[in-house]
Amino acid sequence: MARIRSVEGRVPQAPPGPWCLAMTQPGACAGPGDLDRVTGWIPASVPGTAASALRAAGRWTETAPEPIHDRDVWYRTRLAGPGRFRLRFEGLATLAEIWLDGVPVLTSRSMFEPQTVEADLGAEADLALCFRSLRAELDRPARRGRWRPRMITPGSLRHVRTSLLGFMPGWCPEIDLVGPYGPVTLEAVRPGPAAADLRASLDGETGRLAARLRIDGGASAVVLVCGGREAPLAEIEPGLFSGELALPGIAPWWPHTHGTPHLHPVSARVDGAPVDLGRVGFRTVSLARPFEDGLSLAVNGVPVFCRGAIWTPPDLVGLGADDTSARLARAREAGMNMLRVPGTTLYPASDVFDLCDELGILVWQDLMLANFDYPHDDPDFAGRLSREVTAFLDRTQTAPSLSVLCGGSEVWQQAAMLGAPRAVWADAFCATTLPTLAAALRPDLVVVPNSPSGGAMPFGPREGCTHYFGVGAYRRPLADARRAEVGFASECLAFANPPEPGTAGPAGPGDPRWAAGIPRDRGAEWDFEDVRDHYVGLLYGVDPAALRAGDPERYLELGRAAVAEVMEATFAEWRRPRSPTAGGLVLSLSDLAPGAGWGVLDWTGRPKSAWYALRRAFRPVQLAITDEGLDGLHLHVLNETDAVRALTLELTLCDAGGRVAARAERGLVLDPRSGLTLSSAALLGRFLDAADSYRFGPRIHDVAHARLTGPDGAVVAESFHFPGDGPIAREAVGLRAEAVVTAAGPGLRIATERLARGVQVNVPQAQPDDNYLHLAPGTTRVIAFPGCARLPRGSVRAINSNEIVDFGHDA
């Protein structure tokens, strides 16, 4: 059901506390009556986890996390009455008991099911929560699955509804998640609105809002209000009111890359009393082609290239939301319009969906199922999973950002890769039960059985959705991004992405902590730093191992640049108008720990080189160059916005010193949500071996530089192509930097006489608005530093330059 935000201004409140916490040996205390002999109580925050409380007390650290699952964890507080109250627990990890005044009132065996208790309280009441040892539960003998994943241990996790975070060596820190990680609220039970069911839909240009309100104690008149209109709800049975409000011409919700994510407040009046029902967005989400041909989404009838990243909790210790808003803002700033929540993590808090609604970011939500052979034939397991899905869809009922509901992560792939036949890995729950549950509660969602899935093998690149690591973990050439004919990459492009210089944590390969931050597949002989090193060697003609040993600073410099180039090149292929690819989600948005993790943001939320590359690659108005061999270069111009764009396209081919071999310019008018492709030959009007494919003579250019400008001459997008292979040599390129003032504050004008590749702006105390970019010979670029009062101290270098230019002031 939709969330009732407030009734006459009253909102559910968190118990005032204070809370305290203690740990005991498993089973040492049968109930709260045994706690009087327990010592070592410490203050605790709720919502929160035992790890966060222990860390605050100086008894635990994430750098050397001690196990918590091998203990029972108790929380205590006092509640104020008197009267009948409703206690709601949004997330209890995992084997939880709830006690009031020493009496057990509820037991929960799922981290993902919200729980509600109604009770009559006296003037004061003791509330105790016990989280029984998960390790003791996992050590019990249990029926083994038909297959056993290597990346997650132990195998008995398949029977328990808990997050797999902390159980994936090499993928995330081994931090035990225990405690009331979701909000706990207390409210008086009184007559009035008890439940709301809201269904927002878009029928052409008319929004339709269907509502059902349950009113305890009944009501004489109930009115639904939205978008400046209202409609009475009829009582269809005692206490249940139903009706629909039509809203012609309502402004629809769009992903931010394609329009404005309009949201509309919804309220009701119950016998004149105001009830806040939150906000809704009117939109449709549908398949733009059959799933078997490659997943492709259309929003409001418009095909959308979905690009973004895999979402993980910003705070792995406390599972709090302190940094959530900043991480989501970074995702939008990078041009991401979709985030996928994988089945290895946990369902995000409702606030995450509220923020994605506001920011115009689509959400792909996996069920919390990953890799295991889950016991769907066990009635208890099946019941918990069904309640879990229902509760999730209820609380996100009005979220227009939620667009894809998926049956889990790599369950089908895991079994298929181990040789199981389709009859084994294509489980009935994902194929039939899940679509039925979604149709009853969120018929507006696209349901995907598993990620990946869709073809004869669930991991085939063309059909359905795939986890594409051809470019990446499998170390295929960059051309494989096109050759694979990817339909939709719901996970892709994983590298050990080095953090920026000066970031807290291990500084580089010479730091003994460095290796611990490198993601790896359990049992594999390689890790994701080896993957990055492969592309450093491929792109720049160096020996990464020798460089790592002899010049670790240069090693990381080229590693950051290589990741950026691979990201831009891959999405250039995938976004071109003739590409079959309809989406790509990078693994992942954020690191879970210090070091060179998968994240395009580091563990503090600071952008890495990949983030800057994706910010360029994901522009709604975009220009990209692809190498078409004997057909020269193709220039792809995209306009995903809802406005006509008048643009000028320029193409220059020149040598590293700026001597021009050919130049052309053309005015373009792009319709909304359209794209076009021009060949270099068509643009130049004559033959030139732009892709260095014919090789009839010496190559006369070192770079192809394309630029897209608006009517005011401002650069909208740029793209570069470097023909030929060979090592990156350092030389003097005439790199300069000077302070300037921009509309966003202090800025830096960077200029170069010769071609400057992979220009890196190193500013430990601030974030530039662009980085790891190329500069064509004789050009300049102004870099802004939003939020800075004056130009911070830093330096500029390029990977093909022996110059380092310092600038700025100390903070």
**pLDDT tens-digit map of 672-699:** 999 999 999 999 999 999 999 998 889 9
> Is 167:138 a contact under the CB 8 Å cutoff?
no
Residue in 159, 78, 169, 156 with CA at minimum distance from that of residue 122? 78
Parallel, antiparallel, or unpaired: how do β-strands 306-310 and 583-586 relate?
Answer: parallel
| Residue pLDDT, tens place only, 587-602 | 999 999 999 999 999 9
Cβ neighbours for 288, distance < 8 A, ≥ 6 positions apart: 296, 297, 298, 303, 582
Strands (E) in 122-263, as ranges, are 124-131, 184-188, 192-203, 206-216, 222-226, 229-237, 240-248
Give percent above pLDDT 70 in the chain.
Answer: 99
| Residue pLDDT, tens place only, 750-795 | 999 999 999 999 998 899 999 999 999 999 999 999 989 888 899 9
| Residue pLDDT, tens place only, 649-660 | 999 999 999 999
CA distances from residue 611 to 34, 247, 589, 677 in whole angstroms, order as listed:
52, 40, 9, 26
Q: What's the pLDDT at 107?
A: 97
Residue for token pair 């007390």: 57
Q: DSSP character for 50? A: H
**DSSP result, 51-106:** HHHHHHTTS--TTSPPP-TTSEEEEEEEEE-SEEEEEEES--BSSEEEEETTEEEE
Structure tokens at 201: 């839909």
Average pLDDT of the chain, as a whole number: 95
Answer yes or no: is pLDDT of 507 > 80: yes
Q: What's the pLDDT at 214?
A: 96
Answer yes or no: is pLDDT of 703 > 80: yes
| Model pTM score | 0.97
**DSSP result, 285-349:** EEESS-GGG---EEETTEEE-EEEEE---S-TTT---TTHHHHHHHHHHTT--EEEE-TTS-PPP
Cβ neighbours for 718, distance < 8 A, ≥ 6 positions apart: 616, 623, 705, 706, 707, 708, 774
Q: Helix 434-441 to helix 379-395 angle, to the nearest 10 degrees?
A: 30
3-state secondary structure of 381: helix
Q: What's the pLDDT at 523?
A: 82
| Residue pLDDT, tens place only, 443-459 | 999 999 999 999 999 99
Answer yes or no: is pLDDT of 322 > 80: no
Peptide bond into 82 cis (omega under 30): yes
Q: What's the pLDDT at 1?
A: 61
Q: What's the pLDDT at 757?
A: 97
| Mean pLDDT of all residues in 305-332 | 92
Answer yes or no: is pLDDT of 53 > 70: yes
Q: What's the pLDDT at 583?
A: 98
Kindly indicate the confidence band of residue 63, based on its pLDDT and cuts at 50, 70 and 90: confident
Least confident span in 156-160, 332-336, 418-422: 418-422
Q: What's the pLDDT at 81?
A: 85
| Mean pLDDT of all residues in 525-529 | 95
| Mean pLDDT of all residues in 533-542 | 96
> Is 196:277 a contact under the CB 8 Å cutoff?
yes
Q: What's the pLDDT at 484?
A: 97
Give percent above pLDDT 90 in the chain.
Answer: 93
Q: Output Rg (C-alpha) for the chain, integer angstroms.
A: 28
Burial environment of residue 30 by CB neighbours within 10 A (0 to 12, 13 to 18, 19 or more): exposed
| Mean pLDDT of all residues in 153-162 | 96
Percent helix, strand and coil across the chain, each to the nearest 5? 20, 35, 45
Answer yes or no: is pLDDT of 811 > 70: no
Kindly indicate the confidence band of residue 31, based on its pLDDT and cuts at 50, 70 and 90: very high
| Residue pLDDT, tens place only, 352-370 | 999 999 999 999 999 999 9
| Mean pLDDT of all residues in 253-277 | 97
Phi and psi dihedrals of 272, rounded to 5? 90, -15
